[in-house]
Amino acid sequence: MAMLQISRLTFGYEGGVENIFENVNLILDTTWRLGLIGRNGKGKTTFLKLLMGEMAYQGQIDAPVSFDYFPFEVQTAPNQPALEVMRQVIAPYARMEREMQACLEDGGEQAMEAYGALLTRYMALDGYTLPDTLRVEAVKLGVKPEALERPFNTLSHGEQMKLELAALFQKKNRFLLIDEPTNHLDADGREKVARYLKGKTGFILVSHDRHFLDQTIDHVLVLGRKDIVLQQGNYSTWQADKALQDQAQLSRNEKLKKDIGALAASARRTAGWSDAVERSKTGAADKGYVGHQAAKMMKRAKAIEARREKAIEEKKGLLQNLDEAQALKVQVLPTRRSALLEVRDLAIDYGGGPLFEPVSFCVREGERVAIQGGNGSGKSSLLKLLLGGQIPYTGDVRVAGDLVIATVPQEPGLLQGSLRAYARAAQIDESLFLTILRKLDFSRLQFEKDMADFSAGQKKKVLLAASLAKPAHLLIWDEPLNYIDILSRSQLEEAILRDRPAMVFVEHDLFFTQKVATHTVKLRERLAGRPAKS
Instruction: Lowest mean pLDDT of 177-186, 212-221, 417-426, 455-464, name the range.
Output: 177-186
**Confidence band for 301, pLDDT divided at 50, 70 and 90:** low
Asked whether 359 and 394 are in contact (CB, 8 A), the reply is: no
Strands (E), 224-332: 228-232
pLDDT at 16 over 80: no
Instruction: Lowest mean pLDDT of 17-31, 161-175, 218-232, 268-282, name the range.
Output: 268-282
Pairing outcome for strands 228-232 and 219-223: antiparallel
Distance of CA 412 to the CA centre of its chain: 15
The pLDDT assigned to 533 comes to 43
315-to-211, 259, 261, 308 alpha-carbon distances in Å: 39, 8, 11, 10
Residue environment code for 27-51, b if the CB has 16+ CB neighbours within 10 A, otherwise e: ebebebbbbbbbbbbbbbbbbbbbb
Asked whether 205 and 36 are in contact (CB, 8 A), the reply is: yes
Instruction: Lowest mean pLDDT of 16-20, 112-116, 452-456, name the range.
Output: 16-20
179 closest CA partner among 289, 69, 284: 69
* Identity at 66, one-letter amino acid code: S
Global pTM value: 0.78
**Confidence band for 264, pLDDT divided at 50, 70 and 90:** low
Asked whether 469 and 429 are in contact (CB, 8 A), the reply is: yes
The pLDDT assigned to 105 comes to 94
Strands (E), 333-470: 341-348, 359-363, 368-372, 393-399, 405-408
Separation CA 356–CA 377 (nearest Å)? 7
pLDDT at 310 over 90: no
User: What end-to-end distance do the CA atoms of the chain give, in Å?
Assistant: 62
The pLDDT assigned to 222 comes to 94
Q: Higher confidence at residue 455 or residue 346?
A: 346
Separation CA 225–CA 223 (nearest Å)? 7
pLDDT at 94 over 60: yes
Q: Higher confidence at residue 301 or residue 220?
A: 220
pLDDT at 329 over 70: yes
The pLDDT assigned to 531 comes to 47
Average pLDDT in the 434-441 region?
Answer: 95
Pairing outcome for strands 341-348 and 393-399: antiparallel
